[in-house]
Amino acid sequence: KWNVTIGKHDICDLNMRDCYLRSLHFSLTTLSTVGYGDISPVSELETIWENIVVLIGACFLAGLIGAFGAYLSECDKLGFNSFKEKLEKLR
């Protein structure tokens, strides 16, 4: 929460677990490029839930991109896979 009197957040003054949880939240949100948006978690449980959702979404997106890359690699007619197929036919 923003403390108007001292002009800074007082999240780390309460306990260190909340401080580390909030810092993990900001790191994950920034690195996953989800963005902070208009709705942000307020409680500890909401922060944990958002971190889990962001990690699941990032894993899903990584799997989708990997599967698409594998599909394009298999469908390659002119590149390295084509070269391997031609070598196999010669043997």
* Interval 8-30: pLDDT, tens: 766 666 677 777 888 888 888 88
Predicted local confidence at residue 34, as pLDDT: 77
Whether the per-residue pLDDT at 1 is higher than 70: the answer is no
pLDDT tens-digit readout, 31-55: 887 777 777 777 788 888 888 988 9
> What would the two tokens of residue 71 be?
């599909």
With b for 16 or more beta-carbon neighbours within 10 A and e for fewer, the 2-35 pattern comes to eeeeeeeeeeeeeeeeeeebbeebeebbeeeeee
Residues 54 and 29 sit within 8 Å (Cβ to Cβ):
yes
Highest mean pLDDT among 34-38, 65-69, 81-85: 65-69
pLDDT at 59: 92
Mean pLDDT, to the nearest integer, of 56-66?
A: 93
pLDDT top residue among 67 and 78: 67
CA–CA distance, 22 with 19 (Å, rounded to integer): 5
Residue 64 confidence class, pLDDT cut points 50, 70, 90: very high
Dist CA 50 CA 27 (whole Å): 12
Calpha distance 77→82 (Å, rounded): 5
Amino acid (one-letter) located at 76 = D
